C-alpha cells in the first residue's frame, strides 16, 4: 500500500510539472509571435506555493476506513491474479498454436516405415556336415551387431511377459503412446529438464529404426506421432517381434536370441522366468546392468522385473518365489554371490595370483606334453603368446575369405564392404569341409616335429639379437608347413595354414594366401602334359640329359669356363640339374625318367618343343595361375617354376586335379552354397569343369608321375601308401627356400609345402626326400580306413612293351623291355631290334647332337 501511495504522489507531481511546461511553451510561442522579448526561466525557478499537509486518502478522494483498505487490497490482488491467468492462457495458446503447426508440418512428412525392409543387422551362420551327412554349425559371425532373428511364436510366453512388464505395462492397451506416462514425463521435463523415460515399446522401436536419438522435446514429439502411425500399420505382434529382434543387450549382442546365447548359452525357447527377467531388466543400460559388468545391479533389475510380473498378474505366487530363488547359471564366470552362490570359475578364469592381482587371462604357459606335442626347446616359438582368441579353424578362415571375395565380385563392391555385408547380412554358408579330416589334419600340424624333426633350426635374420627383438627373430626364423586336400572336382576337403598353435582368427593362411615358388611341380602342368597332348613325345620317348646355352647378354653377369662360357658366341651353359654340377651326363633317357628324376635339362628342352606361348597360356588361361606376363614368360619360370610372385598351394592343388579327373579344371571351392535371409542362393559352387587336356593325355601324364613314387630310390618314394596308388611330383626352389610335394590318389589331391615366411633358405639334415615322407605320414592317417584304390585306365590308352634301348614299341628282337602307356592316336614305331640299337639311332631319330640355344 505504501508503494502505491508513493507512486500516486509521483504521478501527481509529474502532471503538475507537465502543466507548467505546457503553459510556459504556449506563452513563449505567443511572445515570439508578438515579437516581444521573453525572459526564459527554468521550471524549477517557478515559486511553489506551500500547501497544507493532508492525511493521505490513497487516491479514494474520501475518508479511508479499514474496510475500504481491505476491499482495495483485494481488488489489486484480484487484478494481479487475473493478469497472471491471462498470461498463462496466452502462453498456452502459443504452445497449442506451435504444436498445431508442428502437427501440420509432421502430417506432411511421409513416415511410411516398413518393418520388413528396415535395415537390420543379422548374424551369419556357417555350417558343415559330419561323416553321417548331418548339418553341423561351425561358426556364427557378426560385425558390430550379433543378431539371430526369431519369430514371436517361438518364444515362451513368460519371456514376452517379462519384457512387457519391464518396459511397457500397458503395451496391449495403448495405441502406440502411453499418455499417462507421457504426461508424467512432460511434467518432469518442465520441472527438472529431464528428457528420458516414458517411451513405450512402440516408441523405442521407432527410435531404433529411425536412429533419431536427439535429446530434445522435438524428438519426443516426433517419436509420439511416429509411434501412432506405426501402430496404425502393424499389429502388436509385428511390433513386439521386431522390437525383440532389434534391441541391444550389450556389446555386439542384439536381439533376444543372441542375448540368450551370450548370457546363458541357450536358445530363447529354453529361458526360465528368472533368466528372462534378467534380460528384460538390463536393456535400459546394458553396459551397467549386465551380470558380467555388475552382478548386483543385474540382480536388482531382475527383482524389479519379477515384482512387476507378479503385480500385473503374469506370475503366480509360487512361480514368483521360484524365480526369485533360482540360482541362475551364466555362460561366463561372474563375480559375486547375488544369485545365492559363488561362481568358482571366476578366479580360475581370471587367474587370481597370490597377491590378489588379476593375471593375463589369455595365455597360460602350458607344456607341450599337456597339448600332446613332442617337447623341444626349438619348438617353443610355435606356441603363440598374446591377447587373442581362436574360435575357428584354418578351413573356416579360408572359407570366409573366399566367400567375401566372391561376394565382392558379385555385388561389384570392395572386399571391405563385402566383409561387412557378409558378417551382418544374416547369410547361411555351407562349407565343403570334411570335419573329421580337418580335425585330423589340425591335430597333426599342431606338433611342429611332424615337419621339422629332420631340419636345422639355425637362425636366419639381420635383426640384432636383443631382448626386444626376441619374438620377431623367432617368427622370422620359423619354418612353416601348410597342407591342403581336395577331391578331383575342385572341392576342398581340409587344409591347415601353419605349424603349431594357430595365431588367431583370420590370421595368415599359408595354404590359401602364401605365394611361393613351386619348383619342378610345374613340369607336368606346363611341359610334359602339353608335349603328350601335342604328340611331341610319348611315355618312352628318349630325351638327352644335356644343358643348352643361353646368351650372356640376356641374363647378365660374369661367367668363366666352369660355367660353360663360350666366348665365340658369348653364351653360357644352362640349365643345371638340381644338386648336380656340370651340364648333364649327355645320355638319353625315356620321358618318364625325366619326370622321375626331375631333370631340368630335359624339361627345358621339351619346353622348347612345346613353345613358351603355349606353356604360358596353359598355366594362365586354363589353369588360372596369376603370372607376370613379362618376367614369367621365359624358360626358367615355365619349366622350373621359378615364378616372380609364386603360386598359392590351393591353386596348385586345383591345377593338379586335372591329372586325376581326366583333364578338367575345376575352380577350388571351400563352400557349396551361400543362402540369404530369404532363402535365395546368392553364391554356389561351380561344378562344371573346363577342358584343359584330353583324358588320355591326363592318364599318361599320371603314369609319368607314378614313376616318381613307385620305384625305389625315386624322389617321391617315401609317399607310397601301399594299397592306395599314388602319383607324385616334388618341387624345390632354386635357392632351397621352398619344398613342395604334390600327391594324387584316386580320390584326393594332397599338396604339402615347407617354407619360411621370409623366403630364406631352409637348411636340411636329411635331404629333400623328407618332404614326400611328411606327405605320406599325413595321408596314411587320412586314408587309414580306406580300401585299396588304383586309377582306372583311360579307354583311349593302350599298354604296350617298349624297347629300353630305343623307346620304340618292342619288336621281336628286343630283349630288354618295359611297360609303357600310349595314346591310341600316337603309338611309337616298332623297334626292329637291329640297326635301331646302333649308336647312330639317337642322331637319326632325336637329332640332339648340337647343344640347343634357348633364346
Taking CA atoms, 572 is separated from 114, 553, 588, 634, 689, in Å, by 76, 10, 22, 16, 43
Q: How confident is the model at residue 496 (pLDDT cuts 50, 70, 90)?
A: very high
* pLDDT > 50? residue 22: no
Highest mean pLDDT, choosing among 310-314, 384-388, 578-582, 733-737: 310-314
What pLDDT was estimated at residue 1?
61
Burial (CB count within 10 angstroms: exposed 0-12, middle 13-18, buried 19+), residue 830: middle
Handedness of CA 559, 562, 568, 574 (dihedral sign): negative
Do the bridges between strand 681-684 and strand 671-675 make them parallel or antiparallel, or are there none, so unpaired? Answer: antiparallel
Between helix 273-282 and helix 295-311 the angle, nearest 10°, is 110
What percentage of the chain exceeds 70 in pLDDT?
A: 75
pLDDT tens per residue across span 502-519: 888 888 999 999 999 999
We find that the CATH architecture of domain 124-350 is Orthogonal Bundle (1.10)
Q: How far apart are CA 72 and CA 688, in angstroms?
A: 106
What pLDDT was estimated at residue 564?
87
Burial (CB count within 10 angstroms: exposed 0-12, middle 13-18, buried 19+), residue 563: middle
* pLDDT > 80? residue 325: yes
Higher pLDDT, 542 or 92: 542
Average pLDDT value for the chain: 82
Q: How far apart are CA 139 and CA 428, in angstroms?
A: 10
What pLDDT was estimated at residue 190?
60
Between helix 256-264 and helix 236-246 the angle, nearest 10°, is 40
* pLDDT > 50? residue 35: no
Taking CA atoms, 280 is separated from 48, 158, 240, 308, 312, in Å, by 86, 11, 13, 11, 15
Q: How confident is the model at residue 254 (pLDDT cuts 50, 70, 90)?
A: confident
Q: How confident is the model at residue 287 (pLDDT cuts 50, 70, 90)?
A: confident
Residue 175, C-alpha cell as written in the block: 495405441
What pLDDT was estimated at residue 474?
52
Rounded to 5°, angle at Cα 689 from 687 and 691: 175
What pLDDT was estimated at residue 722?
93
Q: How confident is the model at residue 349 (pLDDT cuts 50, 70, 90)?
A: low
What pLDDT was estimated at residue 278?
96
What pLDDT was estimated at residue 384?
59
**Which of 2-11, 303-312, 488-497 has the weakest average pLDDT?**
2-11
CA neighbor of 624 nearest in space, from 616, 612, 633: 616
What pLDDT was estimated at residue 383?
66
* pLDDT > 50? residue 100: yes
Q: How far apart are CA 185 and CA 456, in angstroms?
A: 76
pLDDT tens per residue across span 134-176: 999 999 887 667 778 889 999 999 999 999 999 988 888 888 7
Tell me yes or no: is domain 382-499+511-518+646-682+702-789 CATH 3.40.710.10: yes
Distance of CA 105 to the CA centre of its chain: 45
Do the bridges between strand 571-574 and strand 548-551 make them parallel or antiparallel, or are there none, so unpaired? Answer: antiparallel
What pLDDT was estimated at residue 202?
85
What pLDDT was estimated at residue 29?
43
Would you say 479 and 755 are in contact if contact means Cβ atoms under 8 Å apart? Answer: yes
pLDDT tens per residue across span 265-276: 999 999 999 999
Taking CA atoms, 513 is separated from 482, 501, 516, 520, in Å, by 11, 18, 10, 20
pLDDT tens per residue across span 410-468: 999 988 889 988 988 889 999 999 999 999 999 999 888 787 765 544 444 455 555 55
What pLDDT was estimated at residue 662?
98
pLDDT tens per residue across span 362-377: 334 455 555 555 545 5
- What number is the average pLDDT over the span 328-354? 76
Higher pLDDT, 597 or 95: 597
Containing 731, the helix (H) or strand (E) segment is strand 727-732
What pLDDT was estimated at residue 48?
46
**Which of 177-186, 586-595, 619-628 has the weakest average pLDDT?**
177-186
Domain coordinates in residue numbering, the chain:
2-52, 65-108, 124-350, 382-499+511-518+646-682+702-789, 797-846
Amino acid at each position: 500500500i505504501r508503494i502505491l501511495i508513493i507512486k500516486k504522489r509521483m504521478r501527481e507531481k509529474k502532471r503538475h510539472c507537465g502543466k507548467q511546461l505546457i503553459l510556459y511553451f504556449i506563452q513563449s510561442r505567443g511572445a515570439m509571435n508578438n515579437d516581444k522579448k521573453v525572459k526564459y526561466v527554468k521550471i524549477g525557478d517557478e515559486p511553489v506555493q506551500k500547501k497544507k499537509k493532508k492525511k493521505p486518502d490513497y487516491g479514494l478522494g474520501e475518508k479511508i476506513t479499514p474496510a475500504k483498505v481491505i476491499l482495495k487490497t483485494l481488488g489489486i490482488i484480484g487484478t494481479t491474479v487475473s493478469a497472471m491467468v491471462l498470461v498463462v492462457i496466452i502462453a498456452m495458446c502459443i504452445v497449442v498454436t506451435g504444436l498445431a503447426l508442428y502437427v501440420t508440418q509432421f502430417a506432411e512428412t511421409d513416415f511410411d516405415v516398413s518393418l520388413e525392409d528396415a535395415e537390420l543387422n543379422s548374424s551369419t551362420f556357417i555350417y558343415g556336415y559330419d561323416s553321417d551327412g548331418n548339418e553341423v554349425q561351425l561358426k556364427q559371425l557378426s560385425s558390430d551387431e550379433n543378431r539371430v532373428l526369431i519369430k514371436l511364436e517361438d518364444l515362451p510366453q513368460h519371456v514376452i511377459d517379462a519384457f512387457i512388464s519391464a518396459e511397457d505395462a500397458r503395451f496391449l492397451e495403448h495405441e502406440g503412446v502411453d499418455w499417462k506416462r507421457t504426461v508424467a514425463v512432460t511434467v518432469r521435463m518442465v520441472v527438472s529438464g529431464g528428457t528420458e523415460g516414458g517411451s513405450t515399446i512402440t516408441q523405442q522401436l521407432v527410435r531404433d529404426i529411425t536412429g533419431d536419438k536427439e535429446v530434445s522435446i522435438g524428438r519426443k514429439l516426433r517419436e509420439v506421432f511416429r509411434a501412432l502411425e506405426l501402430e496404425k500399420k502393424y499389429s502388436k505382434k509385428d511390433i513386439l517381434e521386431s522390437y525383440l529382434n532389434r534391441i541391444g543387450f550389450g556389446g555386439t549382442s542384439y536381439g533376444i536370441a543372441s542375448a540368450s546365447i551370450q548370457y546363458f548359452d541357450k536358445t530363447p525357447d529354453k529361458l526360465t522366468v528368472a533368466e528372462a527377467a534378467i534380460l528384460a531388466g538390463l536393456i535400459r543400460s546394458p553396459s551397467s546392468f549386465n551380470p558380467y559388468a555388475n552382478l548386483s545391479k543385474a540382480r536388482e533389475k531382475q527383482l524389479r522385473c519379477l515384482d512387476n510380473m507378479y503385480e500385473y498378474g503374469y506370475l503366480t505366487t509360487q512361480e514368483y518365489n521360484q524365480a526369485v530363488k533360482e540360482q541362475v547359471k551364466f555362460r561366463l564366470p561372474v563375480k559375486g554371490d547375488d544369485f545365492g552362490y559363488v561362481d568358482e570359475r571366476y578366479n580360475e578364469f581370471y587367474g587370481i595370483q597370490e597377491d590378489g592381482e588379476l593375471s593375463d587371462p589369455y595365455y597360460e604357459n602350458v607344456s607341450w606334453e599337456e597339448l600332446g606335442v613332442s617337447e623341444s626347446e626349438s619348438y617353443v616359438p610355435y606356441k603363440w603368446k598374446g591377447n587373442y582368441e581362436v574360435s575357428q579353424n584354418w578351413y573356416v578362415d579360408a572359407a570366409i575369405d573366399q566367400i567375401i571375395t566372391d561376394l565382392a565380385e558379385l555385388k561389384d563392391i570392395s572386399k571391405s564392404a563385402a566383409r561387412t555385408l557378409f558378417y551382418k547380412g544374416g547369410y547361411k554358408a555351407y562349407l565343403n569341409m570334411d570335419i573329421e579330416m580337418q580335425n585330423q589334419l589340425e591335430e597333426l600340424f599342431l606338433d611342429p616335429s611332424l615337419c621339422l624333426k629332420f631340419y636345422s633350426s639355425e637362425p636366419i635374420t639381420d635383426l640384432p639379437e636383443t631382448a626386444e627383438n626376441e619374438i620377431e627373430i623367432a617368427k622370422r626364423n620359423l619354418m612353416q608347413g601348410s597342407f591342403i586336400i581336395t577331391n578331383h572336382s575342385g572341392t576342398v576337403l581340409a587344409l591347415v595354414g601353419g605349424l603349431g598353435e594357430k595365431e588367431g582368427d583370420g590370421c595368415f593362411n599359408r595354404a590359401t594366401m602364401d605365394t611361393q615358388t613351386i619348383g619342378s611341380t610345374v613340369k607336368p602342368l606346363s611341359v610334359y602334359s602339353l608335349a603328350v597332348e601335342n604328340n611331341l613325345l610319348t611315355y618312352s620317348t628318349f630325351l638327352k640329359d644335356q644343358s643348352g646355352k643361353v646368351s650372356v647378354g640376356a641374363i647378365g653377369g660374369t661367367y668363366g669356363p666352369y660355367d660353360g662360357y663360350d666366348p665365340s658366341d658369348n653364351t653360357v651353359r644352362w640349365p643345371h640339374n638340381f644338386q648336380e654340377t656340370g651340364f648333364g651326363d649327355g645320355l638319353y633317357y625315356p620321358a618318364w625318367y625325366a619326370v622321375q628324376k626331375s631333370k631340368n635339362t630335359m624339361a627345358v628342352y621339351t619346353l622348347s618343343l612345346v613353345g613358351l606361348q603355349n606353356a604360358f597360356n596353359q598355366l594362365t588361361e586354363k589353369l588360372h595361375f596369376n603370372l607376370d606376363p613379362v618376367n614369367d614368360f621365359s624358360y626358367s619360370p615355365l619349366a622350373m617354376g621359378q615364378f616372380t610372385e609364386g603360386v598359392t598351394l590351393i591353386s596348385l592343388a586345383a591345377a593338379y586335379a586335372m591329372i586325376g579327373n581326366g583333364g578338367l579344371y575345376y575352380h577350388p571351392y571351400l563352400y557349396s552354397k551361400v543362402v540369404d535371409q530369404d532363402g535365395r542362393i546368392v553364391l554356389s559352387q561351380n561344378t562344371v569343369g573346363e577342358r584343359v587336356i584330353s583324358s588320355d593325355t591326363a592318364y599318361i601324364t599320371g603314369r609319368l608321375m607314378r614313376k616318381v613314387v613307385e620305384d625305389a630310390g625315386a624322389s617321391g618314394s617315401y609317399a607310397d601308401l601301399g594299397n592306395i596308388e599314388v602319383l607324385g611330383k616334388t618341387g624345390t626352389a632354386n635357392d632351397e627356400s621352398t619344398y613342395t610335394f604334390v600327391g594324387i590318389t584316386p580320390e584326393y589331391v594332397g599338396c604339402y609345402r615347407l617354407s619360411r615366411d621370409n623366403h630364406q633358405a631352409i637348411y636340411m639334415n636329411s635331404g629333400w626326400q623328407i618332404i614326400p615322407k611328411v606327405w605320406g605320414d599325413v595321408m596314411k592317417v587320412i586314408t587309414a580306413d580306406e580300401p585299396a584304390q588304383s586309377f582306372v585306365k583311360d579307354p583311349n590308352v593302350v599298354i604296350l612293351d617298349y624297347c629300353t634301348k630305343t623307346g620304340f614299341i618292342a619288336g621281336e628282337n628286343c630283349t630288354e623291355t618295359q611297360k609303357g602307356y600310349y595314346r591310341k592316336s600316337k603309338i611309337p614305331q616298332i623297334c626292329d631290334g637291329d640297326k635301331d640299337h646302333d649308336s647312330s639311332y639317337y642322331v637319326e631319330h632325336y637329332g640332339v647332337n648340337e647343344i640347343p640355344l634357348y633364346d
